[in-house]
Amino acid sequence: MEFAICIRLNQMQNIKLALAYDGTNYHGFATQPDGNTVSDTLKKALAQLTSEEIKLITASRTDAGVHAKCQVVNFLTNSTIPIESFPKAINSRLPEDIVVYGACQVSDSFHARFSAKFRRYRYSILTAKYPDVFSRRYTYWVPWQLHLEDMRQATNFLAGTHDFSAFASEVKSVKNPVRNVEELSIAQEGAFIHFDFKANAFLHGMIRTIVGTLLDVGREKLTPKEVKDILESKDRANAGALAPPQGLCLMEVGY
């Protein structure tokens, strides 16, 4: 994602930031009472920088322990700091596991969440006899033999536009549980297996529940056809376990 250097205007600005973070030490992105979230940490740094109370709008609210290579936020500010100085100035006030790497002034109508056309996520697992001390924060260790072709066959039933209630942690507060999954692929890279998802949006827990269900297929606990039945049931009780958070990473937000 490229961010142009924009000319500062002497008026309220709508600023768009791109940032990456290791979510291991945070209780997710969205604000929590204890303040230990990516959002709260970023808002604190921005408040120190601008001397304003900042309201952040985010493209995707990642859960506790989930990472991001490309998260996008926007906020309004009267700050006179040159836009090209924002990343360096903010990073000097952030812990080392959060990095802002892009900043740009955008139109008043830009909204990090509602202007987004798609989100792309990757879930990574390690299939090995023993866990790897260096990748443990970013992968789910799976010491089982997996049947990848069965798992890939099951993804065919999930790609496209469907009601994904069966794979959501919470749907009661969602007006419309229908999502359009444009891409769902499984690729192997040595001992690592990556699940890549691209959709207009995702329900809470949707990706991790799909991964947990596909792992059940890989272990021959479910057939590919049963994944189709689970989808059509719209009942979360029929799907697999929620895969742990550390394997999930927000890779891209498209506008």
Kindly provide the b/e burial profile for residues 107-118, where b requires at least 16 CB atoms within 10 angstroms of the residue's own CB.
eeebebbebbeb
79-96 pLDDT, tens digit each: 999 999 999 999 999 999
The verdict on 139 and 66 lying in the same domain is: no
User: Residues with catalytic annotation?
Assistant: 63
pLDDT for the residue 34: 76
- Pair of tokens at residue 196: 């890549």
* Residue that is last in its domain, among 53, 85, 106: 106
Q: Is residue 99 in a domain?
A: yes
The verdict on 139 and 210 lying in the same domain is: yes
Tell me which residue range forms the domain holding 89: 13-106
What predicted TM-score, i.e. pTM, was given to this entire model? 0.92
Determine the angle formed by the axes of helices 224-233 and 206-218, rounding to 10 degrees: 150
pLDDT for the residue 194: 98
23-34 pLDDT, tens digit each: 999 999 999 887
Q: Is residue 112 in a domain?
A: no
Number of structural domains found in the chain: 2
Reference 178, options 196, 199, 157; nearest CA is 199
Q: Is residue 84 in a domain?
A: yes
The verdict on 185 and 208 lying in the same domain is: yes
Q: What is the CATH number of the domain that holds 168?
A: 3.30.70.660
Q: Is residue 159 in a domain?
A: yes
Identity (one letter) of the amino acid at 235?
Answer: D
The verdict on 47 and 132 lying in the same domain is: no
Considering only CA atoms, give the Rg of the chain: 20
Residue 20 near residue 1, CB atoms below 8 Å = no
pLDDT for the residue 6: 43
Residue 160 region, left (φ>0) first, then alpha (ψ -120 to 50), else beta?
left
Decide: residue 32, CB within 10 A, 0-12 exposed, 13-18 middle, 19+ buried: middle
Q: Is residue 1 in a domain?
A: no
